[in-house]
Amino acid sequence: MPFTIKVNGNSHSVDVDGDTPLLWVLRDVLGMTGTKFGCGMALCGACTVHIGGAATRSCITTIDSIGTSQMTTIEAIGGTPAGAKIQKAWLDHEVVQCGYCQSGQIMSASALLASNPRPSDADIDDAMSGNICRCGTYVRIREAIKLAAQTNEKVG
Ligand code: FES
Ligand code: FES
């Protein structure tokens, strides 16, 4: 059946079963392949997007559960204040290794920074604990989030 979803500021009409995971719709229907499939069971974080500003695992989020909520994906996160800071810090710290997990990492980090401009180490660990990186980039991820947060401190 048709559903209208709002992604990155645009409305899309998609004709899929109601129990179709959002990740499938993003990648296979809308062709937005920046969001990655890892486990399909909410265990790795590779598929993280924002729904209503909250970091959400799109692999277990059915299309009929989203309603009119605004969604943001990795394709547009750089257009948000927190996302722009996170992406710059990622580049400055050369966080990425193979890159597969990084869309999800950036989405989780951006949601954290948007809701908590000066996160503590514990806040960072808590927000990022569900995002797995098989390349072990965790130290650089934490440093990049701290760098982005320092930018917040400078601007007040
Ligand atoms: S693919 Fe969604 S959490 Fe792993
Ligand atoms: S950069 Fe390779 S899995 Fe994270």
Q: Report DSSP letters for 139-151, one per residue.
A: HHHHHHHHHHHHH
Give Cα 77 to chain centroid, integer Å: 8
Indicate whether residue 46 lines ligand 1 (CB < 6 A).
yes
- How many beta carbons lie within 10 A of that of residue 78, not counting itself? 14
Give the Cα separation of 98 and 50 in Å (integer). Answer: 23
Tell me the per-residue pLDDT of 69-99, one tens digit each, with 9 for 90 and over.
999 999 999 999 999 999 999 999 999 999 9
Name 62's bridge partners: 21
Give the Cα separation of 37 and 11 in Å (integer). Answer: 23
The residues, any chain, with a CB within 8 Å of residue 37's CB and separated by 6 or more, are: 23, 27, 46, 47, 59
133 CA distance to ligand 2 centroid (A)? 5
Structure token digits, residue 7: 């992604």
Angle between helices 102-115 and 121-128 (to 10 degrees): 130
What is the pLDDT at residue 153? 66
Indicate whether residue 112 lines ligand 2 (CB < 6 A).
no
Q: Which of 27, 44, 131 has most ligand 1 atoms within 8 Å of CB, for mutation?
A: 44
Give the Cα separation of 85 and 150 in Å (integer). Answer: 10
Q: Which of 100, 108, 142 has most ligand 2 atoms within 8 Å of CB, for mutation?
A: 100
> What's the burial of 26, exposed, middle or buried (CB within 10 Å: 0-12/13-18/19+)?
buried
Q: Identify the segments of the chain with pLDDT beneath 50.
A: 155-156
Give the Cα separation of 102 and 141 in Å (integer). Answer: 10
- How many beta carbons lie within 10 A of that of residue 81, not counting itself? 14
Indicate whether residue 104 lines ligand 1 (CB < 6 A).
no
The amino acid occupying position 78 is G
